[in-house]
Amino acid sequence: MSDIYDKVPLYYKLAENIEEQINNDIYEKGEKIPSERELCEIYGVSRMTVRLAIDELVKKGKLEKVQGKGTYVLSKSIVQNLNKVYSYSKEMNKQGKISSTKMIKRKIVKADEKLAKKLRVPIGENLLYIERLRLAENVPIMVEKTWFIYNVTPFLMDIDFTKKGLYKTLDEDYGIRFNKAIETFKATQLNSYECRLLNCPNDQYGLLIKRLSYSDDKIICCSSIVSKGDTFEFTVVLND
C-alpha cells in the first residue's frame, strides 16, 4: 500500500493534506489560507507543487482564488429543500445571504424541435430567452437559462429585474404564480463560457438542473441551470 502511495504525485498528497485541514475546520469556511510562499515554507515543497495542489482543490470546489487577494476556503454550500416550489431569492434571504442577479442575455428566439416538445408549442413558435447569473454575497452561484412562451409573457422583454425579481414580478404584477415544477438533476462538466461566468477553472464538474415550471398546471417556461458542484446541498423528505 505504501509503495502505491509513494507513486502518488507530491502535489496530490499536499492537496489531500490541505483538504483534510479544511474538513477538520483548521482552515474554516470563508477563511484565507496561507500564501503560496508560506505554504512552501510550511511543507518544504516547491512553489509549482503548491500551485498544482491549490488548482486541484479549486477544481474540487474546496478553494477559491480571488485575484489580488489570495486563496479562500469556499463558503458553506447552499441548502435547498426540494419538497416544494422554491424561489432562489427567498431561499437566500432565509439563509441570511444577500442575493443578486446579473442579466446576461434577453432576446426572442424560435422554438426548435427540442424546446417545442418541452413547452408543447409548435416548432418555430416565438420564445423569450432570458439568461441570468445568480449571485450570493456577490459570489457567482449559478447560470440560469430560461425559455418562456412569448405570447404568455411578452411583458418580460422590457422589465428591469435589478429592481424586482423575475418570479416576484410574475406573481405580484401579473398573477402568474408557479404551483408546480418538475426538476431533473445530473452531474455535468461546465463549459468554458460557464466557467468564466462562475469564476472557476476550466473543466470543472458541476450540477445541471433542468426544470419545467407550471402555473395553474399550464407550462409557462423551461429552464437549464448550472452551478459548481460544491454550491448546492439538496434535501428531500421521503414518506411511506
Q: What's the CATH architecture for 2-73?
A: Orthogonal Bundle (1.10)
Q: Which of 54-63, 105-114, 165-174, 231-240 has the lowest mean pLDDT?
A: 231-240
- Over residues 49-59, the pLDDT tens digits come to 999 999 888 87
Assessment of whether the complete model's pTM goes beyond 0.75: no
Crossing angle of the two packed helices 36-43 and 47-59, in degrees rounded to 10: 110
pLDDT of residue 62: 80
Which residue is it, cell 445568480?
134
Mean pLDDT value across residues 216-229: 89
Distance CA 23, CA 14 (A): 14
Mean pLDDT value across residues 83-110: 66
Give the SS3 label for residue 102. strand
- Over residues 114-127, the pLDDT tens digits come to 999 999 999 999 99
Question: Tell me, which fold does domain 78-235 have in CATH?
Answer: Chorismate lyase (3.40.1410)
Q: Where are the domains of the chain?
A: 2-73, 78-235
Residue 6 has pLDDT above 80, yes or no: no
pLDDT of residue 95: 46
Measuring CA to CA, how many Å separate 167 from each of 8, 86, 89, 191, 227?
Answer: 49, 10, 9, 27, 20
pLDDT of residue 239: 56
Residues 19 and 57 sit within 8 Å (Cβ to Cβ): yes
Residue 80 has pLDDT above 50, yes or no: no
- Over residues 138-148, the pLDDT tens digits come to 778 889 999 99
Beta bridge mates, 167: none
